[in-house]
Structure 1
């Protein structure tokens, strides 16, 4: 390669690093363009469960304990079809259904994982931004810097969405924590102010918004696929010269 052209091209050592990043981060993002969609679908299912209970408790008249038999289902508190769909079953003489406790625990784990993932991604994009800026010194790559910076921008935006998702989920859990899900307490609420349905509706709406943002995050990452492929093709061409 003539000396003047070599000055326009990154050194081989830098090209190797760039190629490594492009290859492995493209593979990594294939996962993160799909995983949030699965999580969003699961979160929507949890939201539907809360809405089903809220719908039921908005209209039903509170009953008395229908059976002295342990583990008998409560006729008034259970939403039609919900036990088969979600496993949530209110039983006489019992406390909060185990499935509801699991729902809240799992949502808390999603919030924690999403917050940590978003923080990691934001830190990674800080570094990627600096590296991408340094490539402006090499004219052989300048025409692709728009592509590279778009990848970074999409990932940075995804990181911000993940942080917001975590906030929404934690606030929804705060709302659910204000509801006593024991049959006795729920019946007392149904006979008075019926506060429980409002808490469940609001929590479900926050679940819904979090699910929407998860899907948006996946879309942003998915948009990077062609850009990674284009960028890496150029890097490999330069390596072969």
Structure 2
């Protein structure tokens, strides 16, 4: 029996390579089954900031300056409870709040990270697909080829989601760039067509959808965990034989 199994299994150097890949790629995916969930939570928090401001600016009337002195909080522009939650504070005589600039910078960084991750993962899956096809020549692994290709398919789909996430985040930034966040410009908008709330709502919806896709990406990668265990257990058994 052992002789038959050895005859049907891949050569030892290939088994060693497969074992290495199964071990380290499983550990790598354990990280990417969790990290997108944290990123999704952070995106949702940023989206709530935009919605809170849009809600406020959709209904509030243009107020008088709270004080002629600088650094006084603007009574009309600040959303109730938002300052304590996010730090976003509009002040008289000042420009765009630093926290909003930071929000946009963080979204831009998230878009760059998603694009890089998606691109790298897609290229890796191209190579993995070719390698997995070659395993069909070894009957000892035939019943696990479905598991291995499912892993690749999940990762490939996750790569596509990451690329789409990057696009959505960048489009949200494009919409936010349409809004002048200085108090004077916002008050002029409130007294006129109130375009700022519309842009903020749309940008927040893009952030929300990107967060949903991040969670989907994590679910796809998490689905691989058992498949990696089964695949590596077979490889180790063949190496022992």
The answer to whether residue 148 in structure 2 is matched with residue 148 in structure 1 is: yes
Please report how far the alpha carbon of residue 236 of structure 1 lies from its aligned counterpart in structure 2 after TM superposition: 0.1
Gaps spanning 5+ residues in structure 2: where? none
- Residue deviations 1:61-100, cap 9 Å, x none? 0112220121100000000000111110000000000000
Please report how far the alpha carbon of residue 106 of structure 1 lies from its aligned counterpart in structure 2 after TM superposition: 0.5
- Residue deviations 1:1-26, cap 9 Å, x none? 53x64441100000000000000000
CA distance, structure 1, for counterparts of residue 62 and residue 5 of structure 2:
82
Counterpart of 2:181 in structure 1 is 181
Q: How does 1:43-122 map to 2 (within 5 A)?
A: 43-122=43-122
Counterpart of 1:172 in structure 2 is 172
The answer to whether residue 20 in structure 2 is matched with residue 17 in structure 1 is: no
Instruction: Give the aligned CA root-mean-square deviation in angstroms.
Output: 0.8
In the superposition, the TM-score normalised over structure 2's length comes to 0.98
CA distance, structure 1, for counterparts of residue 204 and residue 158 of structure 2:
22
- Residue deviations 1:164-217, cap 9 Å, x none? 000000000000000000000000000000000000000000000000000000
Counterpart of 1:26 in structure 2 is 26
Q: Is the 8 A contact 2:6 2:238 kept in 1?
A: no
Q: Is the 8 A contact 2:5 2:238 kept in 1?
A: no
- Residue deviations 1:20-41, cap 9 Å, x none? 0000000000000000000000
Q: Is the 8 A contact 1:7 1:138 kept in 2?
A: no
Structure 1 segments of 4+ aligned residues over 2 angstroms from their partners? 4-7
CA distance, structure 2, for counterparts of residue 84 and residue 39 of structure 1:
22
Q: Is the 8 A contact 2:58 2:197 kept in 1?
A: yes
CA distance, structure 1, for counterparts of residue 152 and residue 47 of structure 2:
32
Q: Is the 8 A contact 1:9 1:139 kept in 2?
A: yes
Counterpart of 2:190 in structure 1 is 190
CA distance, structure 2, for counterparts of residue 24 and residue 168 of structure 1:
31
Work out the number of aligned pairs and report it.
Answer: 240
Gaps spanning 5+ residues in structure 1: where? none
CA distance, structure 1, for counterparts of residue 5 and residue 70 of structure 2:
83
Q: Secondary structure of the equivalent of 1:143?
A: helix
In the superposition, the TM-score normalised over structure 1's length comes to 0.98
The answer to whether residue 213 in structure 2 is matched with residue 220 in structure 1 is: no
- Residue deviations 1:35-63, cap 9 Å, x none? 00000000000000100000000000011
Q: Secondary structure of the equivalent of 2:8?
A: coil
